[in-house]
Structure 1
């Protein structure tokens, strides 16, 4: 199983479907499990940290018209430019991002909330060149986290449904504490749609304690890949 596929996707696997959104893995067989999502608000679709795939536009059309492409991590530009140009929409990034990839699509910065939605921006991490935001809609209970937590194998121990990123285990993100989501979708792996608030609390509280188990698991994982 490759860590990350460099070739264009030939298929995608749908994950995380709910009434107002959907997620997909463009390369289901890669270790990184790069997940992308579409959020629907009043018939408008916001495509988050996307990896492109054949027939993706048909999936997006089920939810409405693409309004914009959103990048929540400064390393997750992925196929944002291509998808934005195909739909003739801008790429949106948090206002405080310093490192932005050069693109041909229009770039718009936002703060507070994602424009014309109730998704508020949560600053997760901004240090050492790592710039990450999350989106949280209090009413729908949907939390979108691109990198700080995930469910891909190298994020989690055997007992975890979600895990803090290996590099952030010593300092689990305080910005996510106290949130009570009904649904969590992540940038690596499938999300959590049941008992999400309790899962988030357990993920953050146990991150440091379970670090040795995660590192031991990752050594086994990458040695056998």
Structure 2
């Protein structure tokens, strides 16, 4: 099992389907489990978040409406944003404090995505690591701050804090009460998401040693 696959995938695994969106993992065989999402607004605009490209993936989210923009949530998630944006002739929207390092024109966003209820929440502000989440009161879309891939979770966690953030979990996520959590690595949490997030944040530091050991084992 490769840690990270390369090239455009010839297929994908669908994940996280709900009334206003869907997700996919372009390379289900990779250990990193890079996940991408398309979320729709009431007026039929579709926002593609942190996409990893795959053949035929446009058909997956076409049923939700027309693509309004591509969103990159963190500095390491440039992924295939430029290719997807060019194909749909739309801008790439990036939180104003994030530099995704991609060779394409980007549109900075501050408080929220244009014409949506999605607030931009700054989750990580470290040297070399800037990250945001999107939250509209129901759906929380996260880059790396929390995830469900095997190297994020330990014990009975359904979602876990990133191994490097466990000593100091992101305070910006505290108090949020999402119905679902869409993550950048792994399948999302589609039920009892608030309790799963609270459990992850409350016990992140206490469970850190075991999580680190589990992460090393999963990568090996």
TM-score range, shorter chain: over 0.9
Structure 1 portions without partners, runs of 5+: none
Give the corresponding residue for 1:152: 149
Structure 2 portions without partners, runs of 5+: none
Matching of residue 13 in structure 1 with residue 10 in structure 2: no
Deviations 1:192-224 (A, max 9, x none): 11111111100000101111111221232223x
Partner SS for 1:39: strand
Matching of residue 188 in structure 1 with residue 189 in structure 2: no
Q: Distance in 2 between matches of 1:158 and 1:102?
A: 37
Deviations 1:21-76 (A, max 9, x none): 10100000111000000010121100000000010111121110000000001100
Q: Distance in 2 between matches of 1:186 and 1:30?
A: 16
Q: Which runs of 4+ in 1 moved over 3 A?
A: none
Could you tell me the TM-score, scaled by structure 2's length?
0.97
- Once the 2 structures are TM-superposed, how far is the Cα of residue 159 of structure 1 from its aligned partner? 1.5
- Once the 2 structures are TM-superposed, how far is the Cα of residue 158 of structure 1 from its aligned partner? 3.1
Give the corresponding residue for 1:77: 78
Partner SS for 1:38: strand
Partner SS for 2:27: coil
Q: Distance in 2 between matches of 1:116 and 1:207?
A: 35
Give the number of aligned pairs. Answer: 219
Superposed CA RMSD in Å reads 1.0
Could you tell me the TM-score, scaled by structure 1's length?
0.95
- In the TM superposition, what are the counterparts of 1:111-130 in structure 2 within 5 Å? 111-130=110-129
Give the corresponding residue for 1:161: 158
Q: Distance in 2 between matches of 1:64 and 1:144?
A: 19
Whether contact under 8 Å (2:27, 2:33) holds in the other structure is yes
Whether contact under 8 Å (2:151, 2:216) holds in the other structure is no
- Once the 2 structures are TM-superposed, how far is the Cα of residue 7 of structure 1 from its aligned partner? 2.7
- Once the 2 structures are TM-superposed, how far is the Cα of residue 144 of structure 1 from its aligned partner? 0.5
Task: Give the direction of change, closer, same or farther, for the CA distance of 1:100–1:194 in structure 2 (3 Å limit).
Answer: closer
